[in-house]
Structure 1
Amino acid sequence: MGLSHLGIFHTVIGVAAIIAAIISLIRRGKIDLSQLSGKIYFYGTLVTSLTALGLSSVKGVNPGHILALLIVILISVAYYLYAKKTGNNRSRFIENFFLTFSFFLSLIPTVNETFNRIPVGHPLANGPQDPLIGKTLLVLFVLFVIGSILQFRKQKSINKVV
């Protein structure tokens, strides 16, 4: 597979963050920063995005760097809303959406790298333009849209109760 030490660290932390997000989404219907799984997602994603800036086979700034910076901005704003705008209000809609959107964006390079590396010697895909990657990302995008709608509806009902 040929991963550097930074690449291995990046991958391990990134996998932990993705697992934490999935656990949080299944248990709570959102990435909940008040729970351990939400905290692991936040800090793991922050570290993974920042280490991604040091990983590139191309010189200079590339789309992967821009994506990593966008993810850092999304989770930082979500954390700010969580910490400073407490209570069940409109801020929760943005917080939930930004965290879920950051998770979806994190899956783009994850799917690409995984499908182009595994299984070793006979990867599932032959580059980022492979139709399998496109179809997988389309399914994940549809799940993201459906999940976002469900989160919005759930938060709307929570806000009405309080």
Structure 2
Amino acid sequence: MFGISPPGWAHTLGSLPAIPLAIYMFARHGRIVPRSRPGTIYFISMLIGAATVFSVAHQPASNAIGVVTLILLLAGYGVGLTQRLGRAGVYTETICLTLTAFFLAVPAVSETSRRVPDGHPLVTDLNSPLLIGAQASLLVALIVGITAQVIYLRRQKMTRPMHAEDVG
């Protein structure tokens, strides 16, 4: 179904939970909250997706996105484990994790539009105006989103990362 191999299904189903979790955390908290239950599940799901992309990638850019996503994911979750960076750590954490969501969304939109509906996909090639428009919209959302997050964090004057007890 949809021309997806067994490793492709493992990759897709492993990373799929990250999408609604990211949407939930962005809507509820304005950012991905790493030290929360949804944040922990997001981390595991993103780790599965980024680590398995190498077994299913057909484009060289896919491997690069996988590597960058892994680096950003580990940096975003790791920076909160130290207090050395202080307030800058919260900004670093937020930006890194928002970028992971972006690097999940770009191939998700591309692959979904090239496979759905089964047999008659919305897009047949990577240069489709529909696909380019969707990816451009994701880029605009990323720029607007990170800008809004930074403004919000500056107004909140957060001095430490948000923890599970902060999100109820």
Q: TM-score, normalised by structure 1?
A: 0.91
1:73 paired residue among 71, 74, 85? 71
Name the counterpart of 1:50: 51
- For structure 2, which runs of at least 5 residues remain unmatched after alignment? 161-168
Question: Partners of 1:161 and 1:68 in 2: how far apart?
Answer: 31
Query: Aligned pair in 2 of structure 1 residues 161, 46: CA closer, same or farther (>3 Å)?
Result: closer
Q: CA RMSD in A?
A: 1.9
Name the counterpart of 1:118: 116
Query: Aligned pair in 2 of structure 1 residues 123, 153: CA closer, same or farther (>3 Å)?
Result: same
Percent identity of paired positions between Structure 1 and Structure 2: 26
Name the counterpart of 1:15: 16
Name the counterpart of 2:163: none
Question: Partners of 2:25 and 2:51 in 1: how far apart?
Answer: 22
Asked if 1 retains the 8 angstrom alpha-carbon contact of 2:90 and 2:159, the reply is no
Query: Aligned pair in 2 of structure 1 residues 32, 87: CA closer, same or farther (>3 Å)?
Result: farther
Task: Report deviation, 1:70.
Answer: 0.3
Task: Report deviation, 1:143.
Answer: 1.1
Question: Partners of 1:144 and 1:80 in 2: how far apart?
Answer: 22
Name the counterpart of 2:164: none
Asked if 2 retains the 8 angstrom alpha-carbon contact of 1:88 and 1:159, the reply is no
Asked if 1 retains the 8 angstrom alpha-carbon contact of 2:106 and 2:138, the reply is no
Query: Aligned pair in 2 of structure 1 residues 105, 57: CA closer, same or farther (>3 Å)?
Result: closer
Letter in 1 for 2:44: Y
- For structure 1, which runs of at least 5 residues remain unmatched after alignment? none
Asked if 2 retains the 8 angstrom alpha-carbon contact of 1:88 and 1:158, the reply is no
Question: Partners of 2:132 and 2:16 in 1: how far apart?
Answer: 21
Task: Report deviation, 1:87.
Answer: 8.9
Whose relative contact order is higher, 1 or 2, with alpha carbons under 8 Å and at least 6 apart?
2
